[in-house]
Structure 1
């Protein structure tokens, strides 16, 4: 059960300073509902981690949002990894690259004075990225941006819960759940691979070499097309290689290379190192 301080509640609910001074207690934030306690079988079987980022300049509001998310994820039996940002990191490109691989972004319209433009940039990189926009302004709903929804301050808990559940539902609907298989045509035959057995995919001219536990296979495809069929834990570490993050044995900082479970090594380009770090 998540606990949130009176200060966070006051910030989220728009309570005045005089009222705030009279509130000196801690309350339980949105306890799990009995009907929602049953863990999703998809999450149970995969031990799935829901990666998300909260980008909010106001630390009190951010803390309240984080507590709500923790409570909502408990309702769904979901393990959640929350990255919190109160200001733009020194490397904006690495920040955008990392966020584009998240399962959910909660972005304040006032974040770093350009929250909306950041959302547009993220959605340009990943058009299916679930984004919840947090705003104090009234006219924000007129924006023509495909958000999961807009969350107004003061926050209405049921509205926030609805948007969070919608984001999780969108994730489950993607063809990126690990209990599915990778179906490929090899030598005019349909072959199915368990995602866990795939170690890496490497561009070889006009074809792609797929290395699995069972062996190596050459298919006619592009890395881009193949990446769309793979779960989120398959990451592109350079222009011609996609690896299974769960099959990485080690990362050598000196040579900037990853060693896979089958002992093969791959270079990691600078722009992809930040993305790789969140999986190690």
Structure 2
């Protein structure tokens, strides 16, 4: 073997495998995404938004206690109470679920949780709880098995409801830190999509007649993408969290096939007088 060929072989041996290089690139990108989400999530407005004052979310966040009760229609209703106002917790036999644990399966449950719908009245703290979940992930404290948390508010998506997008381009549009994520990596990464404010949605979610979309690069209307994502046809490996006021929560139909598996989940309640509920769905992949 010539000296030139030996040198080329030596250089190749110094280069990391292509797959290893790709994984390093993904980790760096997700790291940048965590930094971005931490910056967006670590503060909350103090008083009115017009006042322009902010405080750290972790300074004002209050842990809650959740009880589980069966609703008449056979699904699960969760009452949320401030821990400090619960004076007789020894009389409560329900399992306490913390905000980071809404996708975790309890010991006596056997089906994994893929979609969570959090329903509560205005001011109950739905967006607040989403922000806390996002911050805990971004700070590396909770749910580190999730590759990336992808918050997408319905208010933002209303602005592009008449446009054609793929799931990949939708992610890249609202989260520039994920601009370089390869389409083929979406299915092997564990993503959590958080859709906040279903009651503000101007999208038309049709779970009966929506065309099937299973390709993350296929362009369609935003409402079709969201419907397929919830149903598990599009990126079935993804987790989905939706928040809504009660009046709009029925847009996610309780009678849709085998979708219902009532399990407990967490909702942060800011007002002591206001109750909220959470439904957890295990949706079929087709």
- What TM-score, normalized by structure 1, do the two folds share? 0.28
The alignment's TM-score, normalised by the length of structure 2, stands at: 0.27
Q: Which has the higher strand share?
A: 1
The structure showing larger relative contact order (alpha-carbon pairs under 8 Å, at least 6 residues apart) is: 2
